[in-house]
């Protein structure tokens, strides 16, 4: 008789190093099983062919995943120049379009045109929704959907190596940037007709770094108590927001959804500034907003603040 696993109401953020060959959702489900977590979600989808940093949120941390959706990211990628792919990566149908005859110095000079704000059209093989369905569901049926270009920012683009038609790059970019589309643009700018991704690894999201992440194999080999030490606090997701500490009376009112006034905060913040809320013992309570008059409005609270 199979023993039924008891799910745990744990909260925290796991920095997962997603392996190649599985979707972000599959990686999430494996991590959820490993931790026996009752509730989990991830932020920042990676394609199956991509590896790297995938923040997984457990329990109350799922309330704050949206704070990473707009964060800047860093990727390392390898490209094959002079070829195009039907999917933009190595999983598609590959076609030769041109040769490469440039030095690394020439390449670096040409790629300066991509630094700054650029317009990108989302690829068909992406999770962008059209009439409620991801574009890739249409692409798999051979249906082309018209897409509108979007403005994204490329903050830095470094050529790490160039060997024949193989190029390694590191890109720091804004949210919404498609590296496979960037690869295609790089190929065209270099005059070889196009390029496609042969590998992609996400290194950072905001202040979160792949160097601090764990693989699924590492987690599987740990004891339950060791795994729990791998979780970062929930307020890691809100580190950019100012912290405000409240007393026990204010804490009780906020936990019941009531607005409290702290005159000491008056004129210290812009109108409706988002803040991290803590009690006097520095326990994270959740997300609030504060007005210029010092009124604190509770927005999303941890379970402990709602009991």
Query: What is the C-alpha separation between 155 and 170, in angstroms, rounded?
Result: 11
Burial (0-12, 13-18, 19+ Cβ within 10 Å), 66:
exposed
**What residues are labeled active site?**
47
Angle (CA) 22 226 284, round 5°: 90
The answer for 131, left when phi > 0, alpha when psi is -120 to 50, beta otherwise, is left
């Amino acid at each position: 008789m199979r023993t039924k696993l008891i799910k745990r109401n744990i909260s925290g953020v796991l920095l997962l190093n997603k392996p190649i060959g599985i979707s972000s959702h599959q990686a999430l489900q494996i991590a959820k099983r490993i931790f026996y977590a009752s509730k989990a979600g991830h932020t920042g989808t990676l394609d199956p062919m991509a590896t790297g940093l995938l923040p997984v949120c457990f329990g109350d941390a799922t309330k704050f995943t949206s704070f990473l959706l707009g964060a800047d990211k860093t990727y390392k990628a390898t490209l094959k120049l002079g070829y195009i792919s039907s999917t933009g990566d190595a999983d598609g149908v590959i076609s030769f379009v041109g040769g490469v005859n440039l030095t690394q110095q020439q390449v670096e000079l040409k790629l300066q045109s991509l630094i700054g704000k650029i317009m990108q059209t989302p690829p068909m093989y992406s999770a962008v929704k059209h009439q409620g369905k991801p574009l890739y569901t249409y692409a798999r049926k051979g249906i082309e959907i018209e897409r509108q270009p979007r403005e994204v920012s490329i903050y830095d683009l470094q050529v790490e190596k160039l060997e024949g038609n193989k190029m390694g790059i590191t890109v720091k970019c804004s949210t919404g940037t498609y590296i496979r589309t960037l690869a295609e643009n790089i190929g065209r700018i270099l005059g070889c007709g196009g390029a496609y991704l042969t590998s992609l690894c996400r290194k950072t999201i905001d202040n979160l770094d792949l160097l601090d992440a764990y693989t699924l194999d590492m987690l599987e080999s740990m004891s339950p108590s060791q795994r729990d030490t791998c979780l970062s606090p929930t307020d890691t997701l809100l580190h950019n927001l100012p912290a405000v500490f409240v007393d026990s009376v204010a804490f009780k009112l906020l936990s019941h959804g009531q607005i409290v006034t702290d005159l000491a905060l008056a004129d210290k913040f812009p109108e409706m500034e988002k803040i991290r809320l803590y009690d006097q013992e520095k326990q994270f309570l959740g997300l609030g907003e504060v007005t210029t008059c010092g009124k604190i409005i509770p927005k999303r609270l941890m379970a402990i603040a709602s009991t």
